Amino acid sequence: MEIFFIFLFIILFNFLIYLNFKNISKVLVFFDKPDGKLKNHKDPVSFIGGLIFLINLYLISFIIKIINLDDLIFNSNFLDIILILGSIFFVIGFIDDFKNLSPNIKLLLIIISTFFVILFFPEIKLESIKISFLKHHYSFGDYSFIFTLLSFALLANAINMFDGINLQLICFTLFIFVIFILKSFLPIFFILLSINLIFLGLLNYQNKVFIGDGGCYLISSIIGLTFIYQYKTFSNFLYGDQVFIILFIPAIDMLRLFILRIIKKKHPFKGDLNHLHHMIDSFIKNKSLTILITLSLCILPTLLMFLKLETYLILVLSLILYLSLILFLEFKKKFYKSSE
C-alpha cells in the first residue's frame, strides 16, 4: 500500500510540473539560446530538465527513507552514493550549460569528483571484470582505481554526446531503466525515476525543455553506479561484455568522433555536428525517423543478447552494421556535394 501511494504521489507531482511548466520556466530563467552553430533550435529553450530530474531523485530518496524502505530496496549506502555523485555531476554539467566550460575543465572536474567519491566509498571501485564467453574473470589489480575513473569519465561523455536531438537520450535512458526493472535491479527505484522521465519526454518532445549537460551527467552517474552495483550485488548480474552491448552505439560513436577529431587536430571532447544522429537526420531530414533508427540500433544488439546469441557475435554484427551505415551516409554526403 505504501508503494502505491509513492507511485501516485510521484505521478501527481510530475503531472503538476507538466501542467505548470511554462510558469516554472519563467521563474527558473535558465534558457539554452540558439547560436547558429551547434545549437540550431529556433527559440530559447529551458534547460532545467536535469534539475527536475535531480529534484525527483531527491524526492524519491527522501520518501523511501522516511517510510523506512531504503533498507529493503538498497544494500549498504548505495542510495547515498547515487545522491552524492549524481549531485556533483549535475552541478558540473549545469554550470557548463550556461558558462560553456572548456572540454579540459569539464573532464578534469568529472575525474576529480569521481576520484574523491571513490576515495570515500571504495565499494564502487571495479576490481575485476567478467566476460560471459570466457571462464576466468580478469582483475585490474593496482589499476582498478584508474579503470573506474576512466569508465565514469567516458560514460559521462558518451551519454552527453548522445543527447543531440529531442527524445533520443530520454528514450535511451528509459530503455536502460527497463532493463534494470526486468532484471530486478532496484525495480521500484527505477520505475519511480521512469515516471519523471516520461513527463520530461513529453515536454522535450514539445521542445519546451532540454535535459542539458547537467541532466546528461546526472543520468550517466546513475547508470554507471547501477552497473557496478548490480555486478557486485546480484547473482543474475550483467557481464562486462553485456554492459558494453547495451551501451554499444553511444560508446562506438564516441570512439569514432574521438578518432576523427584527433585526425583533424581538434580536441576529442569538442562538440560538432558529426554525430550519428546528425548524419542520419541530415540525410532523411526527419527527426522522428532519426530517433527511431538510432534507438533501433541501440535496442537490437540487446534483444539479440537476451535471445542468448553469443555476445562476441553480437558485437561483430553490431560493428558491421554501424560502420556500414556510417560509410553509406558519408558516401551519400560526398555524392550530393559533388553533384551540386
Structure confidence at residue 172 as a pLDDT band (50, 70, 90):
very high
Structure confidence at residue 32 as a pLDDT band (50, 70, 90):
low
Alpha-carbon distance of 86 to 114, in angstroms, equals 10
Least Cα distance to 201 among 188, 215, 187, 189 occurs for 215
Alpha-carbon distance of 156 to 220, in angstroms, equals 5
Mean pLDDT of all residues in 185-213: 94
Helix (H) or strand (E) holding 264, with range, is none
Lowest mean pLDDT among 34-48, 80-94, 146-160, 207-221: 34-48
Per-residue pLDDT at 14 exceeds 90 = yes
Amino acid at 57: L
Alpha-carbon distance of 172 to 271, in angstroms, equals 20
- Can you give the pLDDT at residue 26? 82
Mean pLDDT of all residues in 103-111: 93
Amino acid at 50: G
Mean pLDDT of all residues in 235-254: 94
Structure confidence at residue 335 as a pLDDT band (50, 70, 90):
low
The tens digit of pLDDT for each residue in 251-306 reads 999 999 999 999 988 888 777 888 999 999 988 988 899 999 999 999 999 999 98
Alpha-carbon distance of 141 to 30, in angstroms, equals 44
One-character DSSP codes across 257-316: HHHHHHHTT--TTS--S-SHHHHHHHHH--HHHHHHHHHHHHHHHHHHHHTT--HHHHHH
Choose between 60 and 267: higher pLDDT.
60
Which cell numbers in the block locate residue 199?
513527463
Cβ–Cβ under 8 Å, residues 97 and 214: yes
Which cell numbers in the block locate residue 47?
534547460
- Can you give the pLDDT at residue 74? 79
Per-residue pLDDT at 55 exceeds 70 = yes
Mean pLDDT score of the chain: 89
Q: Has this prediction a pTM greater than 0.85?
A: yes
- Give 209's DSSP letter: B
